[in-house]
Every structure is written in C-alpha cells, then in structure tokens.
Amino acid sequence: MLFWLIAGFIAVPFVMAVLAALNRGFRWIWSLLALLSFYITGSILAADVYRNILHGTVLTTDVHHLLLNPCFLVAGAYLGLYVPYRMLAGLWVHMRRR
C-alpha cells in the first residue's frame, strides 16, 4: 500500500501537469480546487484550535481529532498534490523560455 501512495504522489502531479498543458481549462480547475482545499483545511484547523482553546486542552494531545477529519484529509491531500504540480508547471514554463 505504501508503494502505491508514493507512486501516486509522484505520478499524479505529472498527469495534472500534462492535462494542464493540453487544455487551459484544467489549469483553472486545479487552481480552483486548490483554493477551496486551502480554505477548507484552514477553516477546519482554525475551528479545531478554537475548540482546544475553549475546552482548555492542548492541541498536541488532542491532534487526532483533527487528523481523523475526512474533509481535512482530502483537502490536505489535494494540496499535497497541487504543490508539486505547480512546481512542475513552473519548471515547464522556465524550460520553454530558454
């Protein structure tokens, strides 16, 4: 299973970059999804920190509540794929300008 997770982390950004190079609409979709994921992840994180402050608990001892949230995991996973995609797209643009 670990092999497939690592392989997916490497392969998916390349697929995203190829699709974005072929069709401009994919760039818009990838960026919109990243923006939504950023706000979802930030909102869940802020709400969890607020909950910890309200209850007087320590975030490091109650972090599992945050890490088991499926919305946080999905949004964070997409951001983990989007960042390498943007790096590949930037590299592609830089290489084309040479």
pLDDT in tens, 6-26: 999 999 999 999 999 999 999
Question: H helices of the chain, where?
Answer: 2-22, 24-55, 63-67, 70-97
Tokens of 50: 């607020």
Domain assignments of the chain as residue spans, ordered by start? 16-97
pLDDT category at 74 given cuts 50, 70, 90 is very high
Can you tell me the mean pLDDT for 75-87?
96
CA distance 65 to 63: 5
Residue 56 pLDDT greater than 90, yes or no: no
